[in-house]
Structure formats: structure tokens, C-alpha cells
Structure 1
Amino acid sequence: MPFPTSDKIWMDGELVDWDRATVHVLTPTLHYGYGVFEGIRAYPTDAGPAVFHLRAHLERLLQSAKIYPPLDTIPYTVDELCEVVCDLIRVNGHEGGCYIRPTIILGYGEIGLNPLPSKPQTIVATWEWGAYLGEDSAVNGVRVGISSYRRIGKNTIPPAGKANGQYLNSSLAKVEALRAGYDEAIMLSEDGYVAEGTGENLFVVRDGAVLTPPLADGPLGGITRASVMTIARDLDIDVHETSLVRTDLYLADEVFLTGTAAELTPVREVDGRVVGPRGPVTERIQSAFLDAIHGRNDRYADWLTVVD
């Protein structure tokens, strides 16, 4: 299946043809992974395509850039980047929604581990992208395995940011899982606690309550994660951040993953242990989440930025 494309990519103020959106082969980002990015989705609503938590994602992009100078010297504000995203969705004609990838990289400046002589470049791309973990995963769930690769430590590469290079850690775990016949991997922290999937936060349902690893155990502070926690509490479901070990997944009543790409995906099996089909708590939260992202619940209207 060919990778999807769009018409234009925005690069530092210019709309560039998709096939001509190139960077120098000696950019430090290519050689050392020195860059930051975000993943965002826009969904079809009755008012037109609407971007889910656009501002929050772009704020986190700039927070990630602050961790990695000189990426934080880009001349764009959150408001300006919001306009860029909306304009690009219009230009590329994504009436049915799309995936959005803003990224800040380093231009060619000096080949070496000192990034400071290089100037940052800001790029935004959009394309149409379906279900990340499979078209039937939202109902039938996915099979996951506990990875032998540990989630990066807090003092190794800051897990609070979304840096390009840190996702080598996730890619190794993903490949290991796929080769073992699983759909996704679950990564443990250095201390052996459950952290997250390769690109998703993780939730466990036990005795009607929803549990998720605290940020101290290494997961990214996901925007979808926070939204799902809000939805669950609005449904009068108890939500707790608590450390989990792998047996908590084996013995869970339900398990599900959340993230921009994965959205809300149930887990039906962990390390060959059957958790079960999508459970009632997961289904309630998932249904409310879908209503929120498609603009069907005014309670969460401020989560969406409608592209006129």
C-alpha cells in the first residue's frame, strides 16, 4: 500500500510541492535526530474539518523545542502556527479530516554534536491517514507484547519532550513486537513499571476503575491521555494514576491504548494472555471520545478548532 501524499507542505512560510519538500542531507537532524515534532489529527464535523486540541499540541511543540536549543529560536508563535495548520488543511482540501505533522529541525550548519551553529527550520505537513493500528482495531482490539527494550530514562533523554531521536527507542520495540506477531509493544521503565506503548499511553480497567501509569514512570504526558481521563471522570468513572507492573495487564478486566495516531484502541491480548474483547468501560469512554472529536458533544467544543 503506497504511503499517502498531499499537494503542499509548508516550509518556513512557503508552500512547497510534496515531492519538492527537501532538506540538506547533512542536516544534524538526519545524523543525530536533533529535532522535535507533534502528531495532530483533524476530524470531519458538521461545521467542517476540526483539529483536535490544536493549540495544546503546538504549545507542547514549542515546549519540546525549549528543551533542545537552538530549536527554540524559531520566529513563530503558537497563534501563527495555528493559522499555518488551518491554512494548509484548506490548501490540501482535507474536508474529511487528516493527520498533521509539525516539526522543527536543524538546517545545515555544522556536522558535529554541537547543534548551536545550525538554524532551525519549521515544517508542517498534512495527509489523510486511517486507523494507525488497523481498521478493525477500534472494535476488535490489538495484541500487544511486553518489550525487552526499556523506555528511555528520565535522565537519558527527557521523556517530557517529543524529540525525533528518542523515537529510535520506540521503533526498536515496535519492530520486535511485529516480528513476534504482535500489533504493538508495551515498554517498561528502568524500574520495571509499565510506561507506555511505542507511541501510545496505556490504561487498565480494574473493578470498574480506570488506572494509568503516572508521568514519573516514564510515559509522555499525552494530550489524548488527558482528554480521556477528563471524559472518564465526566462519566463518573474513577480514574487513578498509579504504578503498574506487567501482571497488572495480565489480570486486568480491560486494557486500552490512547494517542493521536491510535486514538482509543482496546487491547485484547497481552503476552499471549487473553484480556478479552472490548469491555463495557472501554466502550463507554470510546463512544464519548468519538462524540467529542467529531463535534457531537458541546461539552468538549473548546477541544476543537474548526477550519472554516
Structure 2
Amino acid sequence: MAALNAPAKIWHNGQIKPWADASVHVMTHALHYGSSVFEGIRAYDTPSGTAIFRLGDHIQRLYDSAKIYRMDIPYTRHEVETACKEIVRTNGLKLAYLRPLAYVGYGGIGIVPDAETPIDLVVAAFEWGAYLGAGTQETGVDVGVSSWHRLAPNTMPTGAKAGGNYLSGALIAREARRHGYHEGLALDHNNMVSEGAGQNVFLVKNKTIYTPPLTASILPGITRDTVMVLAKELGYTVKEENIARESLYVADEIFLCGTASEIVPVRAVDGLKVGAGKRGPVTEAIQKKFFGLFNGQTPDIWGWLDPVENPASAFVHAAYA
């Protein structure tokens, strides 16, 4: 995986500053306890200019995650959305991956932060290609079912996109790569299919599309929701239901999806070929519909594309003062 392509500027606590100046103290609470929530968002170079995909939905989920962890983000949703657009513009990016991150800052060292401990916020935007490797959206990836399970209900909330949750994903991904796979798939506490290290999973059987339900310890992915909407537009039946591990081995097609990964076909699971061992027709049709949103072939009837060139708010322009 390529190293981060650092841009010139970053938005940090209401100011746009040089990338290298966005630093934190080593005793920052989030560094010790994983007390952060974040989003991954993509901006695309569309025929009408650079647009951020489902920005409002992502920022809403950021605030939902913060609420679950009782973190009071000291900016409005509109201010954060505006900051996302401004940092893309400031760095002159046509294509970008955005990372808004709210975290418990420097204060007390107790597990429960002191009341005066600040909630800090950063918004980064930078170029980032295919998460699972160049060409994998066409050629597919090999995955392995992990020995690590996803978090059980009422342990840590998997519906929150929290920094600490991703230690689970790191274990799954590291194990997969040790075994020669591109990515790992995890089971839930009932030994049913949950999700990848950082992606939701879909299975195709007899032209019906299946995906694990929210009760399978998954993150309610925004790309997952997009796929379900587009698949129904294409006439496919989509079912959210529990999926047994062996169903992966006899699927006609499998694909992973997420903001970083976008939509990636799975060609083999645990060394067993999926279908024909290459991208299948259902996956390809959904990819075409999805990427058509950004090249103009799929009309954005849902209002998912948020143009970057909207006038910036006085709040963000004040960051230059």
C-alpha cells in the first residue's frame, strides 16, 4: 500500500495550516485510549467539477458516532461540511480522500476524560488511489476468513466509526496478509459472516444479492447503502440476512465495498475460487452504475454529489485571518 501523499495544507481546530504543523501532544487522550471518531469520504472529478460524495451523510454519521461516545464536537455540521470543501479547494485537488477526525485532546490521563478536556477536530484531504491495490476493481482480490471475530453486541458499538474499533480491523488485515491474501473477512459472535477489515461484503447467488444485517456487528456503511440503492435500480433483489461461512464458498459472486475500497470483486475465499474466479456480471453492472455517478453516465437523482465550488462560509475564510 502506497505511503500517504501529503498535501500542503490541513484544517485543524478551525484553522487551515501547513500539513506539518498539525501536531498533538504525546499525552493526548485519544493517543492512549483510541477515543476518536472519524469518517472516510471521497471527492471525485465529475463533468461538472469536483464533488464530494454523500458528504452530508458522512458528517451525520460522524456526529452520530460522537454522540454514542458522548463527545461534543465544538463545530456545527455545516461548519465541518464547509471545512471539507475548503480543504479540497485549498490543496487544489480534483480527486481526494477526506478524513475528518474528532478526538479527545490533551487533558487528564484517566479513562474518562476531565470535563475541561477539549474535543479537537481535524479535516485532511489528499490523493489516495485504490485501497486494495491498482487494478483490483477489475481483476478482483483473494480473501481469507479470519480467526479473529468482530466485536459482539454490547461490548463496543460497531455502529460507531470509532478509532479504537479499528484495532480489530488491523488484526484481521494483518493476519490475512501473513497468509498471502489481499484482505480478511471476519465472522460475528454467532459465527456468521460479518464484514471485512474495513469493508462491507455482498454475496450474489442466482442473481439475488445478499449482505449481512446491521445486527451482524457491521458498520452501517454509506457505500453499502449506495450499493443497495443502485442494485435495486438495476432490478436486482437485495436481501439483508445472516450468511453462513460456507455460503461464501458456493457463491456465484462476492464483492467488497467501502469508501476507500469503493467496489472490489472477490475472486477467491480461503483458496476456493468464487464463481468463475473473476469479476462477475452483477458486480460489474453495479460498478458501472456506481462509477457512472462520477463520469456522468448515472444521473444523480439522489443528490449525493456535493460540489466543492460552493461559496465558502465566513467561518472557514476566517481561518486565514
What TM bracket, shorter-length normalisation? Answer: over 0.9
1:30 aligns with 2:28: no
Corresponding position of 1:103: 101
Structure 1 position 300, deviation (Å): 3.7
Structure 2 CA distance for aligned equivalents of residues 151 and 181 of structure 1: 21
Contact 1:28-1:111 within 8 A present in 2 as well:
yes
Letter in 1 for 2:58: H
Letter in 1 for 2:185: I
Structure 1 CA distance for aligned equivalents of residues 211 and 204 of structure 2: 9
Corresponding position of 1:288: 289
Secondary structure of the 2:248 match is helix
1:216 aligns with 2:215: yes
Structure 1 position 114, deviation (Å): 1.2
Structure 1 CA distance for aligned equivalents of residues 167 and 130 of structure 2: 22
Structure 1 position 306, deviation (Å): 1.1
Corresponding position of 2:318: none
1:83 aligns with 2:82: yes
Letter in 2 for 1:5: A
Secondary structure of the 1:64 match is helix
Corresponding position of 1:153: 152
Secondary structure of the 1:298 match is coil
179 and 88 in structure 1: CA distance in 2 versus 1, 3 angstrom threshold: same
Contact 1:295-1:304 within 8 A present in 2 as well:
no
25 and 294 in structure 1: CA distance in 2 versus 1, 3 angstrom threshold: farther
Secondary structure of the 2:163 match is coil
Secondary structure of the 1:166 match is helix
Corresponding position of 2:5: 4
Matches within 5 A, 1:240-255: 240-255=239-254
Structure 2 CA distance for aligned equivalents of residues 9 and 301 of structure 1: 30
Structure 2 CA distance for aligned equivalents of residues 187 and 223 of structure 1: 19
24 and 267 in structure 1: CA distance in 2 versus 1, 3 angstrom threshold: same
Structure 2 CA distance for aligned equivalents of residues 92 and 279 of structure 1: 38
1:266 aligns with 2:265: yes
TM-score of the superposed pair, with normalisation by structure 1:
0.97
Contact 1:146-1:186 within 8 A present in 2 as well:
yes
Matches within 5 A, 1:88-167: 88-95=87-94, 97-117=95-115, 118-167=117-166
Structure 2 CA distance for aligned equivalents of residues 31 and 2 of structure 1: 24
296 and 78 in structure 1: CA distance in 2 versus 1, 3 angstrom threshold: farther
What are the Cα deviations for residues 240-265 of structure 1, in whole angstroms up to 9, with x where unaligned? 00100111100000000010001000
Letter in 1 for 2:7: S
Structure 1 CA distance for aligned equivalents of residues 59 and 114 of structure 2: 23
What are the Cα deviations for residues 4-27 of structure 1, in whole angstroms up to 9, with x where unaligned? 101111011111211111011101
Number of residue pairs aligned between Structure 1 and Structure 2:
305
Structure 1 position 116, deviation (Å): 3.8
Structure 1 CA distance for aligned equivalents of residues 118 and 21 of structure 2: 20
Letter in 2 for 1:90: R
User: What percent of counterpart residues are identical?
Assistant: 46
Secondary structure of the 2:125 match is strand
Structure 2 CA distance for aligned equivalents of residues 264 and 3 of structure 1: 21
Matches within 5 A, 1:157-236: 157-236=156-235
Secondary structure of the 2:303 match is helix
Secondary structure of the 1:124 match is strand
Gaps of 5+ in 2: 310-321
12 and 295 in structure 1: CA distance in 2 versus 1, 3 angstrom threshold: farther
Gaps of 5+ in 1: none
